[in-house]
Each structure stands twice: as structure tokens, then as C-alpha cells.
Amino acid sequence: MALKAVPKKKKQKVKKVTVTKVQEIFNAAIKRRDNSCVTCGRIEYLQASHFFGKGGSGSIRYHPQNVHTQCSKCHIEWHNNTCMPYLRYMENNVPKFELVEQMKKKTIKYNQEILSKIVELSKQDDLDGVEKLIEERMIDK
């Protein structure tokens, strides 16, 4: 009796998601959430602005409480340290402001699984889900 060859199962390829693409999709969800500049109320030239910058605080780059919509003018002023209304906005309107500040001291490994999940949740405008995912994966440095 001849043995039949068993076909090999094809491995499912995980589509690699780049940090740039994740940031683009996440930023779009942030702009949909806020709809206008949180600093001045303008609705033109909107950008997603990180309160704590991506460079020094990469662990919270996708935390929805750290990213808000600003017009290009206010965003530039924020980066030039001349936009105090953004600081007041954060202190008065972001319930987890102190927690976000503390999370800068933690770390998270943004592997493909997490990046893909952030994309999926952001496309659904589920920023609470993104927040929960990040907070669950944070560890002390």
C-alpha cells in the first residue's frame, strides 16, 4: 500500500505593519475623535500632536490621552514651547494626565502583534481599546 503525501499547511503570512503606517492610521483616529484644534478650536490644517514627544516618550506614542488634535499653528507653537493653552487643556480635560506622565517612565515593546492591534482598533475608532492595550502591556524600565 502506497503512502500518500500529506500536503504541508501553508503558514499564514503576517502582514508587516510599519511604525509610520500605524502612526498615520492612529493619527487619523485622533483627528476624528477631536474634530478641531483642542487649543484654539480651529478646524483647518489639523494635525495630531503628542503632548509628550515621540522621541523622549516613545512608550506612549500611541496612548490616546497623550495625543490630541491641533492646528498646524498651535502645533508649531507647542513645539517651540510657546503654546500654554495646550498645557492648560491637558491639565483640565485629560482625566489620566498624571498617569500618562508617569507612563513615560515605563516601556512597551511595540511588536507586530501590538502594532497590528493598534491599527485594527484605530480603524474602528476604538481609542479606549488602544489605551487599554497599551496600559496592559506597559512594564517598568
**How far from the centroid of its chain's Cα atoms is residue 24's Cα?**
9
pLDDT for 91 equals 86
Percent of the chain at pLDDT exceeding 70: 89
pLDDT for 4 equals 61
> Is residue 112 within 8 Å of 118, Cβ to Cβ?
no
pTM over 0.85: no
pLDDT for 95 equals 83
pLDDT for 12 equals 54
Burial of residue 128 (CB within 10 Å: 0-12, 13-18, 19+) is exposed
Q: How many CB atoms lie within 10 A of CB 44?
A: 9
Confidence class of residue 14 from pLDDT cuts 50, 70 and 90?
A: low
Q: Which helix (H) or strand (E) holds 28?
A: helix 19-34
Q: CA angle, 134 as apex, 26 and 22 as ends, to 5°?
A: 25
